[in-house]
């Protein structure tokens, strides 16, 4: 799986497909997030959430992990253009679940539009691995796609998700063939939901979870 081909184009693709909805959901919980010092961002892509949290919390140090070298280059360029101190962010070229965080170290984990990339058997392992890197009371912010419960919204979401997965499987060799909800795996690791925002008729969501 590699998003290198899409890295230079991801920003305008996101704008065309969703306007500013995806970025608003990435940032949805930042105004309420308490101060944190050690942050892990995984599958960060072009660095839009990275930039947002650096603006909100100037004291943080961040480890930013992505399987795409192209996406990491785009994120570095965004950081440089924004004038942030480069030493505050460690960029890691690594693919999950192979890459593992240090145990009990991070106060915040961010996975935005990333967990949908994994089939069930891998997703459980990814969530378990990342959860081991969290301190007690750690926050987990994640945004992603979802299927609404019923009605027209559900059928609309299913159609859009089917088209998206077909495209990304062709272009990036995405391993997942469809959407798997990670909530049961978060619960298994002792995380508790603190709230949810939704957008685009329930197709998109942003969640805040905490480790009990």
Banded pLDDT at 84 (limits 50, 70, 90): confident
**Per-residue confidence (pLDDT) for residue 4, from 0 to 100:** 74
- 53-70 pLDDT, tens digit per residue, is 999 998 999 999 999 999
* Spatial distance between the Cα atoms of 133 and 146, rounded to a whole number of angstroms: 26
Share of the chain above pLDDT 90, in %: 83
Residues in contact with 46: Cβ distance below 8 Å, sequence separation at least 6, in sequence order: 7, 10, 11, 71, 74, 75, 78
Banded pLDDT at 14 (limits 50, 70, 90): confident
**Per-residue confidence (pLDDT) for residue 19, from 0 to 100:** 76
Task: Classify residue 1: in a domain, yes or no.
Answer: no
Task: Classify residue 174: in a domain, yes or no.
Answer: yes
Domain that holds residue 127: 10-211
Task: Classify residue 4: in a domain, yes or no.
Answer: no
Task: Classify residue 3: in a domain, yes or no.
Answer: no
Task: Classify residue 61: in a domain, yes or no.
Answer: yes
Task: Give the orientation angle of helix 10-18 with respect to helix 69-82, to 10 degrees.
Answer: 80
Task: Classify residue 43: in a domain, yes or no.
Answer: yes
Report whether pLDDT(5) > 80. no
Backbone angles phi and psi of 169, in degrees to 5 = -65, -35
Rounded to 5°, the CA angle 122-49-197 comes to 75
* Spatial distance between the Cα atoms of 178 and 67, rounded to a whole number of angstroms: 20
User: For the residues 165-175, what does the mean pLDDT come to?
Assistant: 90
**Per-residue confidence (pLDDT) for residue 160, from 0 to 100:** 93
Position with higher pLDDT, 134 vs 84? 134
* Spatial distance between the Cα atoms of 118 and 161, rounded to a whole number of angstroms: 14
Banded pLDDT at 178 (limits 50, 70, 90): very high
Q: What is the CATH number of the domain that holds 201?
A: 3.40.50.150
Report whether pLDDT(2) > 70. no
* Spatial distance between the Cα atoms of 42 and 114, rounded to a whole number of angstroms: 8
Task: Classify residue 5: in a domain, yes or no.
Answer: no
* Spatial distance between the Cα atoms of 69 and 65, rounded to a whole number of angstroms: 10
Task: Classify residue 175: in a domain, yes or no.
Answer: yes
Total domains, the chain? 1
- 186-211 pLDDT, tens digit per residue, is 999 999 999 999 999 999 999 999 99
The answer to whether the beta carbons of residues 185 and 127 sit under 8 Å apart is yes
């Amino acid at each position: 799986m590699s998003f290198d081909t899409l890295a230079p184009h991801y920003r305008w693709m996101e704008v065309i497909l969703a306007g500013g909805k995806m970025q608003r959901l990435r940032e949805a919980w930042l105004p309420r997030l308490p101060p944190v010092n050690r942050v892990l961002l995984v599958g960060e892509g072009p660095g839009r959430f990275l930039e947002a949290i650096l603006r909100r919390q100037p004291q943080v140090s961040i480890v930013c992990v992505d399987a795409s070298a192209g996406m990491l280059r785009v994120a570095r360029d965004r950081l440089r253009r924004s004038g942030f101190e480069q030493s505050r962010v460690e960029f890691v070229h690594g693919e999950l679940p192979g890459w593992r965080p240090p145990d009990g170290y991070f106060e915040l984990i961010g996975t935005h539009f990333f967990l949908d990339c994994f089939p069930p058997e891998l997703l459980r392992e990814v969530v378990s691995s990342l959860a081991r890197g969290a301190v007690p009371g750690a926050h987990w912010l994640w945004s992603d796609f979802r299927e609404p419960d019923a009605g027209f919204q559900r059928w609309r979401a299913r159609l859009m998700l089917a088209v998206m997965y077909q495209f990304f499987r062709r272009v990036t060799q995405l391993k997942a063939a469809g959407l798997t909800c990670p909530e049961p795996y978060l619960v298994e690791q002792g995380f508790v939901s603190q709230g949810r925002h939704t957008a685009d008729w329930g197709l998109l969501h942003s969640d805040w979870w905490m480790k009990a």
